[in-house]
Amino acid sequence: MKTRILGLAAVLMMVASLASWFAYRALSADIIERWGQQVAEIQVRYDSARLLQSLEREIGLAKQMASSLVLLNFAKTPDAPDLQASAIEEMESFRENFRDNSYFVALRENGHYYYNNSENEFAGKQLRYALDPEDPDDAWFYQLLDEGRDFHLNVNPDTELGVTKLWIDVLMRDSEGKPVGIVGTGLNLDDFLQDIVDIGQEGITTLFVDYNGAIQLYRDRNYIDFASIIKPEGQKNTVDLLFDEPEDKQKILGMLQLLKKRDEAGQVESGFVTVDGHEQLAGVAFLPTIGWFEITLLDLNALLPNSFLWPLLAVFFVALILTLVLFHVIIQSKILKPITTLEKAVEKVRDGSFELPRLDKPDNEIGRLSHHFEQMVDTLGNTTRELENKVNRRTEELNRLARIDTLTGLKNRRGLDEAMEEEIQRAERQGTGFGVIWLDVDHFKAFNDELGHQIGDQILCRVALWLKAGIRPYDHPGRWGGDEFVVILSPCDSRTLKTIANRIQQMVEQESEKTGTPVTASVGAYLAQPGDTSDTILRRADSALYEAKRRGRNRVCISTPEDEEIKPL
Ligand SMILES: Nc1nc2c(ncn2[C@@H]2O[C@H](COP(=O)(O)OP(=O)(O)OP(=O)(O)O)[C@@H](O)[C@H]2O)c(=O)[nH]1
């Protein structure tokens, strides 16, 4: 039973714990989602700010460069040597200010491309080459001029220069607003990725995509969509490549569309997506100043690893075991042990004993039940004992009454039989005899017939009284039946027997005289010997009585063992 109760308690606790666990998981997932969304939004703004901060100065300088009158004049008449000299001087002064210490200037008029880097490698030969409208590598230039976009960021390897850079391209326009060239600077892509994107924050991935969703800055260079500007739609490495599920791709592209439509800085969208089999929270922001989107992916499992739940589980299991142990101790002491002792007590009572073992009585229903049971058994024991005593008394009384003659109060025939048997055995043991007197009222029938039965009864009662008065207290007087009385005298010898027999016979005669109804009695006596049977003794006494009757009544006749055998009556 204990095992079953403990098992049931464990199961109930597990069920309750599981329910709590699921509730906790649902609640914590909700909290984590809200928290994650806020973190994602903060992270997106932070990452955007970092990117813009590092680019703003460069973009400002590039724009300043694009509006330089010296360069604009040069772009209009690129072949004028004096203008070229002052233009190169102007370019070099910008080179010193750009963070990368590099610049480029590309002119529409003649396709000349000027460039110098931080090592001042091309001093005096800043004109690097002429752009070719037919060369795919130079397509970016003609595309930007065609599109007429004033500002553009472009990640592109320059095969001529052998560098991969994040290019800041700014359109030069003449006084009529006509594009005359593109100037700008480049930032080393690796340094930039390391500073802005690959920042080593575990569980946080930052990437930037352009206006069309093409990946521009990402820690894995294989995903970067180099020279996006010249690629047709469909061939670009767009952001949806990162996601496993088609619905996630749709979700992200939907966010980009939404933010693009709003066209406001500081707006953030977020949602759950799956990347490399991990559920991540994506935060997306639009950066209108550069026309890019910033996407931050938060791996919640990395940020909030499941391992933080281990202490919780450990606490749960320790609590479970402690609770079961406590439960066991309480059940054992408060329920099972008291029930076991109570069961033993019930078995004892069932087997007829009222001596109870000490019962455990805890302060609960079982304790009260044990207490009531104890009181009940106590009462039951007392009642049973009283009942037994009463029955014993009644039985004794009945036994006594069964041996008493109701009319005279002397022993009846059964009582005399028992007394006789005792005397026979005693005689056997001690080797001494005992006396038996058999008395019969003479002509008693006549008293009955003439005076009535009641008087007859009175006479019998008087005879009984005289009989008792004539013998010793330890002799046994009895009424054999009708008007016949038997007295057993013990111990006795022949002289005593003779004396008492005569005394009785005379007493009846003399005492009855005084009552006005004189009666006489015939008495036969026999001195029983060790070895005599009850039958022999009674027949001997009876034959003596018969002899007394035969000789004329109102006399005593004593039979001795030497007499001839007496024939049956
Ligand atoms: N009143 C009364 N009479 C009884 C009782 N028991 C027996 N008797 C009567 O006692 C009488 C006994 O008579 P018997 O012993 O036959 O003869 P008897 O008249 O005594 O004559 P003997 O014995 O020969 O002297 C019978 O009439 C019985 O009905 C009793 O309890 N009360």
Burial group, residue 13, by CB count within 10 angstroms (0-12, 13-18, 19+): middle
Q: Which of 303, 336, 358 finishes a domain?
A: 303
Three-state DSSP class for 263? coil
pLDDT in tens, 197-215: 887 778 888 899 998 899 9
User: Do the domain assignments include residue 333?
Assistant: yes
Q: What does the mean pLDDT of the chain come to?
A: 89
Q: Is the CB of 457 under 6 A from ligand 1?
A: yes
Element containing residue 335 per DSSP (H, E): none
Which of 186-204 are b and which e, b meaning 16 or more Cβ less than 10 Å from the residue's Cβ? Answer: bbbbeebbeebbbeeeeeb
Q: Is the CB of 453 under 6 A from ligand 1?
A: yes
* CB distance 105 to 181 below 8 Å: yes
Instruction: Inform me whether the pLDDT recorded for 454 exceeds 60.
Output: yes
User: Do the domain assignments include residue 507?
Assistant: yes
Question: Is pLDDT larger for residue 234 or for residue 412?
Answer: 412
Distance CA 231, CA 236 (A): 7
* 378 and 436 share one domain: no
pLDDT in tens, 183-194: 999 988 888 888
Q: Whose CA is nearest to atom 14 of ligand 1?
A: 445
- With cut-offs at 50, 70 and 90, classify the pLDDT of residue 568: very low
- End-to-end, the C-alpha distance of the chain in Å comes to 81
State mean pLDDT over 315-339.
88
Q: Is the CB of 444 under 6 A from ligand 1?
A: yes
Which of 213-232 are b and which e, b meaning 16 or more Cβ less than 10 Å from the residue's Cβ? Answer: bbbbbbeeeeebbbbbbbbe
Q: Which atom of ligand 1 is nearest to the CA of 522?
A: 25
Q: What is the CATH number of the domain that holds 543?
A: 3.30.70.270
Q: Which of 283, 303, 323 finishes a domain?
A: 303
Instruction: Ligand 1 pocket test: pick from 448, 453, 460, 484 the residue with the most ligand atoms within 8 Å of its Cβ.
Output: 448
- With cut-offs at 50, 70 and 90, classify the pLDDT of residue 563: low
For 208-212, 254-258, 303-307, 381-385, which range has the lowest pLDDT when averaged over its residues? 303-307
State mean pLDDT over 545-564.
88
pLDDT in tens, 397-414: 998 899 999 999 999 999
- With cut-offs at 50, 70 and 90, classify the pLDDT of residue 219: confident
Instruction: Ligand 1 pocket test: pick from 405, 449, 483, 554 the residue with the most ligand atoms within 8 Å of its Cβ.
Output: 483
Question: Is pLDDT larger for residue 445 or for residue 26?
Answer: 445
State mean pLDDT over 451-465.
96
User: Do the domain assignments include residue 219?
Assistant: yes
State mean pLDDT over 8-22.
84
Instruction: Inform me whether the pLDDT recorded for 275 exceeds 70.
Output: yes
* 186 and 211 share one domain: no
Q: Whose CA is nearest to atom 30 of ligand 1?
A: 482
* 336 and 238 share one domain: no
Count of the separate structural domains present in the chain:
4
* 211 and 91 share one domain: no
User: Do the domain assignments include residue 385?
Assistant: yes
* 436 and 343 share one domain: no
* 439 and 519 share one domain: yes
- With cut-offs at 50, 70 and 90, classify the pLDDT of residue 288: confident
Q: How far is CA 548 from CA 402, 505, 551, 554, 563, in A?
A: 31, 11, 5, 7, 15
Domain that holds residue 270: 2-53+201-303
Q: Of all residues in the chain, what percent carry a pLDDT higher than 90?
A: 55
Tell how far the Cα of 420 is from the centroid of ligand 1, in angstroms: 24
* 252 and 323 share one domain: no
User: Do the domain assignments include residue 401?
Assistant: no
Tell how far the Cα of 34 is from the centroid of ligand 1, in angstroms: 125
Tell how far the Cα of 460 is from the centroid of ligand 1, in angstroms: 10
* 91 and 118 share one domain: yes
Question: Is pLDDT larger for residue 46 or for residue 478?
Answer: 478
Burial group, residue 122, by CB count within 10 angstroms (0-12, 13-18, 19+): middle
Distance CA 234, CA 229 (A): 12
State mean pLDDT over 500-523.
96
State mean pLDDT over 61-72.
96
State mean pLDDT over 371-397.
92
Q: Which of 303, 329, 344 finishes a domain?
A: 303
Ranked by mean pLDDT, the top range of 4-8, 21-25, 440-444, 528-532 is 440-444
Instruction: Ligand 1 pocket test: pick from 410, 442, 444, 551 the residue with the most ligand atoms within 8 Å of its Cβ.
Output: 444
Three-state DSSP class for 50? helix
User: Do the domain assignments include residue 407?
Assistant: no
User: Do the domain assignments include residue 408?
Assistant: no
* 245 and 340 share one domain: no
pLDDT of residue 36: 72
Q: Which atom of ligand 1 is nearest to the CA of 440?
A: 23
pLDDT in tens, 295-306: 988 887 777 777
Distance CA 107, CA 116 (A): 15
Q: Whose CA is nearest to atom 3 of ligand 1?
A: 456
pLDDT in tens, 104-139: 999 999 999 999 999 999 999 999 999 999 998 888
pLDDT of residue 551: 94
Tell how far the Cα of 405 is from the centroid of ligand 1, in angstroms: 16
Q: What is the CATH number of the domain that holds 9?
A: 3.30.450.20
Q: Is the CB of 481 under 6 A from ligand 1?
A: no
Instruction: Read off the DSSP letter of residue 156.
Output: E
* 79 and 120 share one domain: yes
